[in-house]
C-alpha cells in the first residue's frame, strides 16, 4: 500500500507524492533500491500507481511525486505560478533526491522517467547519487523532432494554442480541453519555445536564465554519469529517433543505450507515448525496466533493436584525441 508524503523544495514550495516502502531497508543482506518516478509533462503521479506497485512487489521501495503546479503539488491558485521545466528539475526533483538521502539513507537510487521526466532527471544538482536510469519516450519536445505525419497538428496544438491560452489565463487550462492537467505558464512556454539546443529555450522572459546559468545547465547534463536505457516506440509522435537522440546527446558522460520497439514486435497494434505504463503491458514491457534497474543490462529476450549505444570509455578516448 502506498502512503502520502509531503516535502519542501529549497525555495519553500510544498510538494506532494506517494511512497511504497518495505519494512526493512535490506533485501538478501544488500541495501534495498529506491525507484523514483519522474512523470511526463502535466501527468499526475497517480497515473504511475500500478507500475509503482509492481516495482514494489519486485523488491524496490518506490516514490512517485508531482511537480509543482500538478496534482498533489498544485497550489490553490495556479495562475501566475512561476515554474518552468527547469524548476521541475532543479527544485522539485532535487528536493526528492534530498529527501531520499535522509529517508532512504544508504539505499541505491534508480529513476524511471517518462517523456520530459528524462530531461528533468539531468537537471538536479544531486544527480550524482543516481545509480541507473530507465526512460520511456524521453525528449524535450523540439518541434522539428515530431513525427512528420503528426507535425502540423502538434504545432498548432502545442506551439500556438497552448502558449496563447497560457498568456491569456496566467496558466494553461489544459483540463478544460481534455488534453492533460492544468499547467503552469512557464512550463507551457518552455514547451512551446523549445529549441534544438535546450538552453536556447530560456533566453527570453518570463522564463529567461542568464548566460552563465544556461551554461551551467548544459554542464550539469553533460556531467551526469548514471547509465541510461532510453526506450522509444515507433508509433510515438513525440519519441522519434531524432527526439530521443537529441536528449541523449546532452548526457555526454553517461553510458547510454537507445532501444526502439515496434508494437508488432510484442504482438500489439499500438503503444504510443503513454501506454507503456498501462497494466496491460505488465508482462511484455515492464520487465525491460526491471531487468535494467536490477542489472544495468538488456535482457536476452528484449524486443526491438538498439539504435545507438555509447560508453564512457569510448567517448573519453575520442575526447582525448581531439
Q: Where are the domains of the chain?
A: 3-143+214-321
Compute the half-sphere exposure of residue 313: CA atoms within 13 Å on the CB side of its CA.
0
Rounded Cα distance between 111 and 132, Å, is 6
- Class of CATH domain 3-143+214-321: alpha beta
Cα end-to-end span (Å), the chain: 53
* Ranges under pLDDT 70 in the chain: 313-322
Rounded Cα distance between 125 and 133, Å, is 16
pLDDT tens digits, one per residue of 85-138: 999 999 999 999 999 999 999 999 999 999 999 999 999 999 999 999 999 999
* Residue in 258, 196, 256, 263 with CA at minimum distance from that of residue 236: 263
Rounded Cα distance between 314 and 244, Å, is 20
Q: What is the pLDDT of residue 313?
A: 59
Q: What is the pLDDT of residue 318?
A: 47
Q: Is the peptide bond before 206 cis (omega within 30 degrees of 0)?
A: yes
Amino acid at each position: 500500500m502506498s502512503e502520502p508524503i509531503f516535502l519542501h523544495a529549497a525555495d519553500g514550495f510544498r510538494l506532494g507524492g506517494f511512497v511504497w516502502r518495505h519494512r526493512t531497508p535490506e533485501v538478501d543482506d544488500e541495501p534495498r533500491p529506491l525507484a523514483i518516478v519522474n512523470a511526463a509533462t502535466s501527468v499526475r503521479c497517480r497515473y504511475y500507481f500500478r507500475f509503482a506497485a509492481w516495482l514494489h512487489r519486485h523488491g524496490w521501495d518506490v516514490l512517485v511525486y508531482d511537480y509543482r503546479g500538478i496534482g498533489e503539488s498544485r497550489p490553490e491558485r495556479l495562475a501566475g505560478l512561476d515554474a518552468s521545466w527547469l524548476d521541475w528539475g532543479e527544485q522539485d526533483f532535487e528536493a526528492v533526491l534530498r529527501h531520499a538521502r535522509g529517508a532512504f539513507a544508504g539505499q541505491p537510487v534508480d529513476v524511471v522517467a517518462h517523456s520530459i521526466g528524462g530531461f528533468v532527471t539531468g537537471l538536479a544538482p544531486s544527480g550524482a547519487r543516481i545509480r541507473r536510469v530507465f526512460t520511456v519516450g524521453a525528449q524535450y519536445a523540439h518541434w522539428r523532432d515530431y513525427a512528420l505525419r503528426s507535425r502540423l497538428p502538434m504545432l498548432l496544438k502545442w506551439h500556438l494554442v497552448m502558449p496563447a491560452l497560457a498568456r491569456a489565463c496566467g496558466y494553461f487550462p489544459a483540463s478544460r480541453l481534455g488534453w492533460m492537467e492544468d499547467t503552469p505558464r512557464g512550463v507551457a512556454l518552455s514547451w512551446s519555445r523549445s529549441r534544438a539546443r535546450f538552453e536556447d529555450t530560456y533566453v527570453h522572459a518570463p522564463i529567461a536564465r542568464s548566460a552563465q546559468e544556461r551554461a551551467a545547465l548544459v554542464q550539469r547534463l553533460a556531467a551526469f554519469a548514471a547509465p541510461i536505457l532510453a526506450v522509444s516506440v515507433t508509433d510515438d509522435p513525440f519519441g522519434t529517433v531524432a527526439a530521443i537522440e537529441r536528449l541523449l546527446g546532452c548526457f555526454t558522460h553517461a553510458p547510454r543505450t537507445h532501444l526502439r520497439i515496434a508494437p508488432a514486435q510484442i504482438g500489439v497494434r499500438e503503444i504510443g507515448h503513454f501506454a507503456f505504463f498501462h497494466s496491460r503491458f505488465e508482462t511484455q514491457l515492464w520487465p525491460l525496466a526491471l531487468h535494467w534497474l536490477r542489472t544495468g543490462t538488456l535482457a536476452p529476450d528484449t524486443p526491438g533493436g538498439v539504435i545507438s549505444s555509447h560508453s564512457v570509455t569510448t567517448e573519453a578516448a575520442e575526447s582525448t584525441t581531439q
